Amino acid sequence: MRLRLVLLGLLATFAAVACDSCCAEIVEPIGNAPVCALADAEKCDEFLTFRFGACVESGCLEDNECCPGTRCRAAQNSCFPILLDPEFECDTSADCPDAAQRCVETRIGEREPLPTCVYETCTGDDACGFGRVCFSGRCVKTAPCGGSCPDGSACDLITGRCAPFPDDSPGCAEACAGLRAFSDPNTMSGEQCCGLSCTCLGLPPIVPTRYGRYSRIAVAPDEALVSAYDAEYGDLVLVHYKLDGSFSRLQYVDGVPTTGAVVADPLGPRGGIADVGDNVGTHTSIAVDSAGLARIAYHDVDGRSLKVAVENADGTFSSHFVDGGDQNAVVGRFTDMAIAGDGTIFVSYQAHDTQLVGVTGRGTGLKLAKSRTPTPASAADWDLLVVDARPMFDPCNGTCTGGTQCALNGGPVCVTATTGCNPACGSTEVCVDTGGGTLECLPPPFPPESPEVPRARGLYTGIALDGSTPVIVAYDAIDGDLRVATVSGTTPTVVVLDGDGNAGRRSGDVGRFPTVAKIGQNLTIAWEDFTRHEVRAWQGALAELGSAGSYSQVDAGFPEAGRTGKAFVGAGARLAQGAAAAVIALQDASTLDLKLASQSGATWTSNRLVTQGAHGFYSDVAIVEGNAYVVSVEARLDERGIEASRVGLTVQPAP
């Protein structure tokens, strides 16, 4: 009671007052942390209300007569809470205008609690979870109020809206290089408010939420490094993990525009630049040299080319173009990388719909880039070699000449295009006279090819060094077979290891996701037999490729208990390099589990490693000092149905 009397005495002076002197009690609004409850109607005479720390006349004509968090409805002569506007109504968090907001039962004024989109309160980043940070007591994804407010206004952190302040508001007129915000939103926002004051806040960092696709792992002496693609911004990123598997930091390597506006913490991800730059960073591969410095190969999507990023001694990266440049071609997908003891870098990759040595017309195939120096800085520092190529896939087998084109009419046939089809043909169809003046739209012989699995040679390349000899595996998606190439100097030798049905080899769609490693004195090559839902392996000496060696079954695709039919196993299969025994990370695509297969003697064992959620995408594994570092991407959607896939690292004793 004494506190209430003191408050009334202070309010009678109409002076601006601080939070402690205009709070009557502590309340717990539903969905928020405890805040101060402002004076009730007893503090002001009838027809007066408590605004800006004083009793003033109720009603309004303009927004600047209202407290932050409200706006004037002149027709009703009242200041109305912004949180009651239709844009903040919600049934679930997916209804909220800002991805950082959550739909929470919230009490606004004296009204009954109702579901409202709010920025939840927090005391640290852990309270906000993935995809948000704690900024001045609120969970956000981007800076509230767009990161700045016009002169004469400051940011109300509760609503994320700029609001005007009286001219004499302490701290509000001072210059602010960050975000000018009201210093105590709990008592300075709402239908009643204390006197306003401002503080200058640094901007929150950009919060990446969609990085991880095309992940590959390498382990340096003091950390694990995962190269990946940020699908939100189209950037190449490097995820740093401590050796115990805990997240350390996220580094943006390529794709951030140099001239973008800084709208977030300049010391945070992307230097605070939210503008999208060149789309780069898919199809990554990574290796570290003898000094523990990383080299990353990747595909420049916009440039349709192969690029390589070289880590400098200070931890920064220098990126450069290696191969490509033909905007009608696609070069640099499906990369893999190996580094020789002298620092020479080998990169295997696919080149598609381009001019290739040994192929008439445009072709598709496997290429190898070999650096001339351990620290290449431009395309001039690389030697390029076409390893295994073929003409582009043509369902009409090259028979369409004289201006004809291939279409589907009971089968692939050559037709002469005409005009006049009604209705008009679709973008992929061709209008033809099928006889007697009958015009018909014919579809292409096959649907358009997938950019992820093109009708091409050289998919899912893998590379390992057997001494000084590069051994490269790749999948031919046209013939459905597994091909292995060795390179001596500038001369490649290619054999079919599985899928052609010859010499006891299997037929069908065989050879997806091939991977190769030198283990002991022998090579181990593993791949997915898509036709039979199995993972197979070949092991033998370099000289035995294509002639001897032994085949074995890694994972038979047997289903879990209670499931029928064989499982689709083997997607994303990757062998650990430099291990004492063969270890393979792979996905069970039927259950979306991450699995880890290992070999002991002649026996393979394939166990489920991560089963909760949709895991196993873009899997990879490294074995270092008795530990297995297994990386994969978990596919998931946020509350709004937007992709929020994330990369994860599991560390466990090696099998």
Tens digits of per-residue pLDDT, 387-412? 999 999 999 988 998 889 999 999 99
- 550, 551, 505: which is closest to 531 by C-alpha? 505
3-state secondary structure 231-261: CCCCEEEEEEECCCCCEEEEEEEECCCCCCC
Residue 7: its pLDDT value, please? 30
Does residue 136 sit in the same domain as residue 219? Answer: no
Question: Greater confidence, 385 or 640?
Answer: 385
Residue 42: its pLDDT value, please? 54
Can you point out the beta strands (E) in 315-454? 317-323, 330-339, 345-355, 362-371, 382-391, 405-408, 412-415, 430-433, 439-442
**Local confidence band at 5 (pLDDT 50, 70, 90 cut-offs):** very low
Q: Write the CA distances from 308 to 319, 378, 379, 381, integer angstroms.
A: 6, 9, 10, 11
Give the pairing type, strands 457-466 and 48-51.
unpaired
DSSP 449: P
CATH number, domain of 604, equals: 2.120.10.10
> 214, exposed or middle or buried, with CB in 10 Å at 0-12, 13-18, 19+?
buried
> 490, exposed or middle or buried, with CB in 10 Å at 0-12, 13-18, 19+?
exposed
Does residue 357 sit in the same domain as residue 461? Answer: yes
Q: Mean pLDDT of all residues in the chain?
A: 90
Q: Cβ of 398: how many Cβ atoms within 10 Å?
A: 11
Q: Find the domain containing 422 and state its range.
A: 405-442
Residue 187: its pLDDT value, please? 85
Task: Say if 400 falls within a structural domain.
Answer: no
Mean pLDDT value across residues 162-179 = 93
Residues of the chain by 3-state class (helix, strand, coil), percent to 5: 10, 45, 45
Last residue of a domain, one of 386, 414, 442: 442
CA within 13 Å, CB half, 573: 34
Where on the phi/psi map is residue 416: left (φ > 0), alpha (ψ -120 to 50), or beta?
beta
Structure tokens of 375?
Answer: 């620290």
Check: CB of residue 235 under 8 Å from CB of residue 300.
no
Does residue 333 sit in the same domain as residue 386? Answer: yes
Check: CB of residue 158 under 8 Å from CB of residue 188.
no
* 29, pLDDT greater than 80: no
Task: Say if 468 falls within a structural domain.
Answer: yes
Residue with tokens 């690029």: 307
Task: Say if 306 falls within a structural domain.
Answer: yes
Mean pLDDT value across residues 586-593 = 96
Q: Dihedral, CA atoms, 441, 442, 443, 445, nearest 10 degrees?
A: -170
CA distance 650 to 535: 22
Q: Which residues contact 251 (CB under 8 A, 6 or more apart)?
A: 237, 238, 239, 240, 317
* 467, pLDDT greater than 70: yes
What's the gap between Cα 25 and its chain centre?
46
3-state secondary structure of 624: strand
Q: Write the CA distances from 286 to 125, 236, 338, integer angstroms.
A: 30, 12, 8
Does residue 414 sit in the same domain as residue 310? Answer: no
- 484, 480, 455: which is closest to 472 by C-alpha? 484
Residue 362: its pLDDT value, please? 94
What's the gap between Cα 354 and its chain centre?
29
* 600, pLDDT greater than 80: yes
Instruction: Report the predicted TM-score, pTM, of the whole model to 2 decimal places.
Output: 0.88
CA distance 364 to 359: 9
Residue 556: its pLDDT value, please? 94
Does residue 321 sit in the same domain as residue 362? Answer: yes
Structure tokens of 222?
Answer: 């003091």
The count of domains in the chain is 3
* 561, pLDDT greater than 60: yes
Residue 416: its pLDDT value, please? 93
> 418, exposed or middle or buried, with CB in 10 Å at 0-12, 13-18, 19+?
exposed
DSSP 30: T
Backbone angles phi, psi at 7, to 5 degrees: -60, -45
Does residue 193 sit in the same domain as residue 216? Answer: no
Q: Cβ of 86: how many Cβ atoms within 10 Å?
A: 5
Residue 4: its pLDDT value, please? 30
- 535, 495, 533, 488: which is closest to 515 by C-alpha? 535
CA distance 585 to 596: 5
Does residue 53 sit in the same domain as residue 89? Answer: yes
What's the gap between Cα 10 and its chain centre?
55
pLDDT in tens, 352-367: 999 999 999 999 999 9
Does residue 235 sit in the same domain as residue 160? Answer: no
Mean pLDDT value across residues 296-318 = 98
**Local confidence band at 31 (pLDDT 50, 70, 90 cut-offs):** very low
Residue 643: its pLDDT value, please? 82
Last residue of a domain, one of 159, 183, 201: 201
Check: CB of residue 284 under 8 Å from CB of residue 214.
yes
Backbone angles phi, psi at 292, to 5 degrees: 85, 15
- 520, 517, 474: which is closest to 497 by C-alpha? 474
Q: What angle do CA 87, 36, 85 make, to 5 degrees?
A: 10
Residue 451: its pLDDT value, please? 83
Residue with tokens 């191969």: 323
- By percentage, how much of the chain surpasses pLDDT 70? 93
Mean pLDDT value across residues 445-473 = 94
DSSP 380: G
DSSP 454: -
Task: Say if 399 falls within a structural domain.
Answer: no
Question: Greater confidence, 41 or 226?
Answer: 226
Task: Say if 206 falls within a structural domain.
Answer: no
The radius of gyration of the chain's CA atoms, rounded to the nearest angstrom, is 32
CA distance 420 to 438: 10
pLDDT in tens, 176-211: 999 999 998 888 888 888 889 999 999 999 999 999
pLDDT in tens, 500-528: 999 999 999 999 999 999 999 999 999 99
* 630, pLDDT greater than 70: yes
Last residue of a domain, one of 176, 201, 226: 201
Backbone angles phi, psi at 463, to 5 degrees: -135, 145
3-state secondary structure of 12: helix
Does residue 510 sit in the same domain as residue 366? Answer: yes
Q: What angle do CA 214, 321, 380 make, to 5 degrees?
A: 135
Does residue 242 sit in the same domain as residue 111? Answer: no
- 274, 298, 19, 247: which is closest to 125 by C-alpha? 247
Residue 15: its pLDDT value, please? 30
Task: Say if 301 falls within a structural domain.
Answer: yes
Does residue 23 sit in the same domain as residue 125? Answer: yes
Does residue 197 sit in the same domain as residue 215? Answer: no
User: Out of 276-290, 464-478, 518-532, 630-644, which region has the weakest mean confidence (pLDDT)?
Assistant: 630-644
**Local confidence band at 81 (pLDDT 50, 70, 90 cut-offs):** very high
